[in-house]
Chains A and B, each alone.
Chain A
Amino acid sequence: MPVDLKADCIADSAGGLTFDLNVPQGTGTTWSAALVLRLRAGTDDTGTAAGGTDDTAADNEVRLPLGPNGPGRLRAVLPSTVALAEGRWHAFADLGDGADPRRLLPGVNDLRALVDRRPLAAIGRLGVRIPYATKLGNLALRSWLRGPHAEAGDILVGPEGITVTGRLYGASPAAGAHAEARARRAGRDPVAVPLTVEGPTFRFTLPYGELAAHWRHGSEPWDLWLCPAEDLPPVRIARLLDDVPEKEQVFSYPARPVPAPAGELRIGPYYTLDNDLAVRVTGPVGRE
Chain B
Amino acid sequence: MHISFLLHHAYGIGETVRATFSLADALAAQHDVEIVSVLRHRDAPALDLAPRVALRHLVDLREHAPAGDRMDPAHARPAKVFPAAEPCFGQYSELTDRRIAAHLRRTEADVVIGTRPGLTVHIARQTRRGPLRVGQEPHCLAAHGRGLRLALRGAYPRLDALVTATEADAHAHLRRLRLPGVRVAAVPRAVPAPRLAPADGTGRWVVAAGRLTRAKRYDVLVRAFAAVAAERPDWRLRIYGGGPEKPALRALIDELDLYNHVFLMGPAGPLESEWAKGAVAVDPADREPAGTDLAEALRCGLPAVATDSPYGPGELVEDGVTGRLVPAGHPAALAAALLELIGDTAGRTRMGAAALAASARFDPAAVAGRHAALFGELLDRRRGSGLRGSLHRVRGTLIGGAYATKDAARAAVRGVRTV
Contacts and interface: CB of A to CB of B under 8 A. Distances in A.
Given A108-B195, A155-B260, A250 B277 contact: no
Interface stretch (A66-74, A109-117, A222-230): A109-117
A109 B268 CA distance: 11
Interface residues of A, number: 22
B243 interface: no
Contact of B259 (A109, A116, A249, A253): A253
B276 interface: yes
A111 B273 contact: yes
B250 interface: yes
Determine which residue in B205, B263, B277 has the highest number of CB atoms from chain A within 10 A of its CB, and name it.
B277
A110 B260 contact: no
Interface string B353-388: 000000000000000000000000000000000000
B195 A115 contact: no
A8 B266 CA distance: 21
Nearest to A132: B269
A252 interface: yes
A109 B200 CA distance: 16
Interface in B254-281: 254, 259-260, 263-266, 269-270, 272-273, 276-277
B230 interface: no
Contacts of B195: 8, 108
A183 to B, nearest CB: 25
B203 A251 contact: no
A101 interface: no
B197 interface: yes
Interface in A209-225: none
Contacts of B250: 252
Given A253-B259, A254-B254, A254-B259, A110 B203 contact: no
Contact of B277 (A8, A243, A251): A243
Nearest to B48: A6
Contacts of A250: 263-266
Given A8-B195, A253-B259, A254-B259, A112 B276 contact: yes
B381 to A, nearest CB: 42
A110 B272 CA distance: 9
A201 to B, nearest CB: 15
Interface in B114-137: none
Interface in A109-158: 109-112, 115-116, 133, 154-157
19 contacts: A8-B195, A108-B272, A108-B273, A109-B273, A110-B197, A110-B273, A112-B199, A116-B204, A155-B259, A156-B260, A244-B265, A250-B263, A250-B264, A250-B265, A251-B259, A252-B259, A252-B264, A253-B254, A254-B259
Interface of A: 8, 106, 108-112, 115-116, 133, 154-157, 243-244, 249-254
By Cβ-Cβ distance, the 10 closest A-B pairs, closest first, are A254-B254, A154-B260, A110-B196, A108-B195, A112-B277, A109-B273, A115-B277, A108-B270, A250-B263, A253-B259
Given A110-B273, A154-B260, 4 more contacts: A8-B196, A106-B269, A115-B277, A157-B259
